[in-house]
Each structure stands twice: as C-alpha cells, then as structure tokens.
Amino acid sequence: MLRLEGKVALVTGASRGIGRGCALCLAEEGADVLVNYRTHADEAQEVVAAIEKMGRRALAYQADVGERSQVEAMVQATVEYFGHLDIAIANAAHSIRKPVIDIEWDEVMATLRVTQFGVFHTCQFAARQMVAQGHGGKIIIISSIHQELPVANSSAYNMAKAAVNHLAETLANELTPHHINVNVINPGWIDTPGERTFYSEEELQRESKMIPWGRLGSPREIGRVAVFLASDDADYITGSTLRVDGGFMVALTLAQDRSHKHR
C-alpha cells in the first residue's frame, strides 16, 4: 500500500532542486501535490506532468513565499482545488553570499524574506488550515547544515536557517494537541541547479569528493526522507531535526578528534 494514498501536499519551491525531489517522491507514494514556483514556470509544469503520469493530481501555482498574502492565497487554492491539505513542505529559499562586512542590508532582507519569513508564512497558514480540518497533519521544513555550521559569506542564510529550526520546535510544541507533526530536514551539500550559481561543474566534481560519502546528495534522497516524515511511520516524531548530509558534519567532528589524538 502506498504510504501517502489520499493525502494532499503543498511543496514550496518545487519546480527544481530539493523541492522538485520532494514533490515527485510524495507523488510516488500516492499524494496529490500543489507545485509552488516563483519564476521557473516551465519546470513547474514538467513536475506537474510527471506527477499526473503517475496517476496523481497536481497543480502548478505561482507565488512568492516572501509575500504573506500570496502564501495565504496559495493555501486557500490548495484546499479549493484538492479539498484539503495534509502535508506542507516549506522548502523555498534564497541566498546571497557575501562577507558580513560587505553585504548590503537589502541583500540581507532579500534572503530573510524568503528563507526565514517565507517559511514562517508557509508553516503558519498550513497549520491554521490543518487545525481547522481537525485531523492532524505534517509540516516539514527543509533547513540546512548551515543551521549548525557558520559557513563564511553566508551570514543571512545561516541565521535564517537557525531561526526556522527553532520555529519548527516552537510549532511542534504548540501543535501537539492537534496531532500535527512538525519536523526539519537539514540537508548537506545537494546536487541542485542553485549550486551552479556559486560553483562551476569542475569545482562541484572536485569538491564533492571531499564529502565523506564521496559525492553530492541528490534531491530525491531528501525527498525520500520527506516521505518518511510525512507518513504514518513517523507518527511519533515531532520537533526533531534529521541531518541528511553523507557524513559531512560528523566528519568535521571526527577530524577534530583525530587531531587531538596526535598531539
């Protein structure tokens, strides 16, 4: 039996990258999916076509998650089209990479309005809908190991990710009476189109070999974890963060431990 049969999911930033991986994996397990996008309309339609080919329903919906009213309208549109909302994945993010002393305030806010405030809007309006429905739900935030690791030149993104992880724990606390699970996935270095903004193919290939697992992660690997958290298999999990990084963070600790042994 498909784990998400009869469920309806909303995935932000679902036209490409991790969001696309999540949307497709959810559909493979039986969910109907609202595919949110902001600028990549053709790719969003490709995701919709792929989901419909599986025999599921799908709808591409343009919305800027940084605009609160657009997120509210998107949740309403989900319910109007599919009848209800059971799973919300807050994935959309934006990053401008500059040193703290160089980044402009409007660049900081451009990052926060999507990566932090957009997640807040998505979670809040999804939670309101799930509470009103009265039969529980699943909220999943796609965060990052940047929440744990103060990566240089990513100050706004780092603090946004730290903020949304704490938001998830707060929401989990508040929503337990409604049987709404709220959890976080912290991906490591994932092979997405967005990475090409910052690295060449040659650099990605070279640097990926430095990851303990020997490669970048794939969007589908994050999507499969999202399916687990969205399913009844994870019914007793809420307020948790699951790191999916091919051993990246553990290796940093191990490297430090090894250095101590050789002193």
**Catalytic positions:** 144, 157, 161
Phi, psi of 119 (to 5 degrees): -65, -45
Tokens describing residue 228: 């687990």
Residue at token pair 């009848």: 83
Paired tokens of 115: 């990566």
Radius of gyration of the chain (CA): 18
Look at residues 158, 162, 165 and name the one whose alpha carbon lies nearest to residue 185: 165
Q: Cα–Cα distance between 63 and 76 in angstroms, integer? A: 12
Q: Measured between alpha carbons, how far is residue 168 from residues 43, 54, 152, 226, 237 in Å?
A: 29, 31, 25, 15, 12
Strand extents, DSSP E, the chain: 8-11, 32-37, 58-62, 87-90, 137-142, 180-187, 241-244
